[in-house]
Amino acid sequence: MMLWPWTVPRVPSPVIVMHEMSIAQSLIHILQEEMLKHGAKTLRSVRLSVGELTAIVPESLSFCFEIIVQGTPLEGAKLLMDRIPLKGYCPQCDETFDIKEFVFVVRLAPIRRS
C-alpha cells in the first residue's frame, strides 16, 4: 500500500473526538490509494452515501474533511453527501415508509415466580 508523501494528521489519543474525524481520515486514505491506482494528480469532488443509522453528522464530516485535506493534493476537493433514509416495510399493508425515529420496543414476558 503506497501513500502520498504526506500523512493525515492524527489526534492525540487522550482527546475525545467525534467519530467523523476518524471517518474522514479513513476516507482520505482510501482516496489517496485510488488516486495513486488511477494516476490522478488532483481530485475535484467525492460523492459519499451516508445512511441514517450511521449517526454521522454531515456538517461535522465535511468540517473534518476540509481541515484534514489542507496542504495536501486533496485540498479544495468537495465532499458531496447523499443521505440514505432508513426505510421500513409493513408486509400486512404492503407499504414502505421512512423511519424518522428508531426506537426498540421489547415485549415484556410474564413475571415468573418460583
Q: Which domains does the chain have, with CATH numbers?
A: 19-98 (3.30.2320.50)
Would you list the DSSP string of 47-86? EEEEEGGG---HHHHHHHHHHHTTTSTTTT-EEEEEEE--
pLDDT tens digits, residue range 19-33?
Answer: 899 999 999 999 999
- Give pLDDT tens digits for 48-93: 999 888 888 899 999 999 999 998 889 999 999 999 988 888 888 8
| Higher local confidence (pLDDT), 113 or 23 | 23
pTM of the model: 0.67
Q: Exposed/middle/buried for 19, CB within 10 Å: 0-12, 13-18, 19+?
A: middle
